[in-house]
Chains A and B, each alone.
Chain A
Amino acid sequence: MDKCLCAQNIYKSYKDNCVLSGLNLTLEPGKIYGLLGRNGAGKTTLLGVLTAQNRLDSGSVTYGGEPVWENRRALDDICFSRELSGANLSGQNTFKISFYLKAASMFYKHWDGEYAEKLLEEFHLDPDKQICKLSKGQMSMVTIVLGLASRAPLTIFDEPVSGLDVVMRERFYRLLLDDYAETGRTFVVSTHIIEEAAGAFEEVIFLDGGRIIEKAPTEELISQFAYISGLEREVQKAAAGLQVLNRSSIGARTVYAVRGVKPGFRPDADVDVTPMNLQKVFVTMCGHGEEM
């Protein structure tokens, strides 16, 4: 339970496309991490290599100091609940939900069948239904059931809420937090729906350009950022000594997105200071100017 997952200098390419390039990451036990990255940033690839489902080109991934690759002891503790697909190599995915549960019960050492049953009921899922007959939201629910009921000390969800409506998304985070309060196990959740998840994440991880560009306690990170707006001269004065990540203007009003703000920031200039939320921080850091 008290083991770290540690990726050191990992590289992974698909043909000419270098997805992960010299990435370092340490996941400490007992936290809920949010993994955020834009489309194609390599989130799923990263999660795949962290859990030894995809092979690395170079670098190392260890759990409790042992390599994870083909290491049963490490993998007993790790669950990566991938997105399901209605199609597979042979055509439609005609396996039933119950088949996935059976497989999971054999594969995951800490599997909790009773909990899985309870979750199926909660989501109104019929175990006899075939995967290809499920809606996108129901497929997401199956991955959530598999991940939660795995009871794995390190459980990873890839876009668990992507197909869910807003009510079910809230229910997912509620279930996650309930389970976390009970077990204190480690979770990693990747998502594009940032703001409503922000409160659940103790730490956030930003993946961009094949590397981790930020990993920090969520609120500590957010509090460093702000928008400063007003007349350009005043904004410049207020932003002195701060890192300016983005400049924009509308009419005579200039807006700087800045980092390095201290608590109680009150610049000696005629400007407005507006805090950012996690989504704005993410766009500011990973938008690369495309946001304007």
Chain B
Amino acid sequence: MKLDLSDQALIYMQIAQMLEDDILRGAYREDEQVPSTNELARAYNINPATAAKGINLLVADGILYKRRGIGMFVAAGAGEAIRSKRREAFAEKYVTPLLQEGAALGLSRDDIIEMIRSKGESENG
């Protein structure tokens, strides 16, 4: 199988993000092993140094840890660490563009808040 990465974002960021997504989905649980640098490099046809950079990003964030000679594992509390990291980035990543696009279309803050409320209700109900 040939897996594909988009060419829009930096590859190592995509590798980190994918592993995070899989941890959030429960594909890898705490203290479970994630694919090695070489496995990732092989699956995505990328340089092992790039795959390592993505993994190291997650090690620095306390999401993965290394067992010498064995591989990389999901740290305790990794799911919560990912969620809190993404919550912090949420406003910047989603709310700011939402407000910008709203302003360009002449929508008021109240219009937007109302839309979020009704959309939320229809999705829940």
- Contact A174/B11 with A181-B38, A219-B50 known, Cβ cut-off 8 Å: no
Chain A window 174-201, contacts with chain B (Cβ cutoff 8 Å), 1 for yes, 0 for no:
1001101100000000000001001111
- Docked CA distance A31–B46 (Å): 13
- Docked CA distance A198–B10 (Å): 11
- Docked CA distance A223–B12 (Å): 11
B49 / chain A contacts, CB cutoff of 8 Å:
31, 202
A199 lies within 8 A of B44 (CB): yes
A181 lies within 8 A of B48 (CB): yes
Closest B residue, CB atoms, query A31 = B49
A199 lies within 8 A of B48 (CB): no
- Docked CA distance A127–B87 (Å): 60
A170 lies within 8 A of B2 (CB): yes
A201 lies within 8 A of B42 (CB): no
- Docked CA distance A207–B107 (Å): 50
Q: For the complex, would chain A's binding face be called helix, strand, loop or mixed by DSSP majority?
A: helix
- Name A219's contact: one of B2, B10, B41, B45 (CB within 8 Å): B10
A178 lies within 8 A of B9 (CB): no
A275 / chain B contacts, CB cutoff of 8 Å:
8-9
Closest A residue, CB atoms, query B103 = A270
Tell me, rounded to whole Å, the shortest Cβ–Cβ distance linking B95 to chain A. 13
Chain B window 43-63, contacts with chain A (Cβ cutoff 8 Å), 1 for yes, 0 for no:
011111110010000000000
Q: Which of A173, A199, A201, A222 has the most CB of B within 10 A?
A: A199
8 A Cβ contacts from B22-55 to A: 38, 41-42, 44-50, 53
- Counting CB contacts under 8 A, is B7 at the interface? yes
A200 lies within 8 A of B10 (CB): no
B45 lies within 8 A of A174 (CB): yes
Tell me, rounded to whole Å, the shortest Cβ–Cβ distance linking A290 to chain B. 23
- Counting CB contacts under 8 A, is B5 at the interface? yes
Total inter-chain residue pairs, C-beta < 8 Å: 49
Chain A window 29-47, contacts with chain B (Cβ cutoff 8 Å), 1 for yes, 0 for no:
0011000000000000000
- Contact A177/B12 with A199-B50, A277-B7 known, Cβ cut-off 8 Å: no
A199 / chain B contacts, CB cutoff of 8 Å:
5, 11, 44-47, 50
Range for the number of chain A residues in contact with chain B:
20 to 34
Q: Which of A170, A181, A275 has the most CB of B within 10 A?
A: A181
- Docked CA distance A198–B38 (Å): 17
Tell me, rounded to whole Å, the shortest Cβ–Cβ distance linking A49 to chain B. 26
- Docked CA distance A177–B41 (Å): 8
- Docked CA distance A202–B47 (Å): 6
Chain A window 195-226, contacts with chain B (Cβ cutoff 8 Å), 1 for yes, 0 for no:
10011111000000000000000110011000
A195 lies within 8 A of B7 (CB): yes
- Docked CA distance A170–B45 (Å): 8
A31 / chain B contacts, CB cutoff of 8 Å:
49
B41 / chain A contacts, CB cutoff of 8 Å:
177, 181
8 A Cβ contacts from B46-103 to A: 46-50, 53
Residues of B within 8 A of A (CB): 2, 5, 7-12, 38, 41-42, 44-50, 53
Q: Which 9 A-B pairs have the closest CB atoms?
A: A199-B46, A277-B7, A202-B49, A181-B38, A202-B47, A219-B10, A173-B45, A200-B47, A199-B11
21 contacts between A and B (CB under 8 A): A31-B49, A170-B2, A170-B45, A177-B41, A177-B42, A177-B47, A177-B48, A180-B48, A181-B42, A199-B5, A199-B45, A199-B46, A200-B46, A200-B47, A201-B47, A202-B47, A202-B49, A202-B50, A219-B10, A219-B53, A222-B10
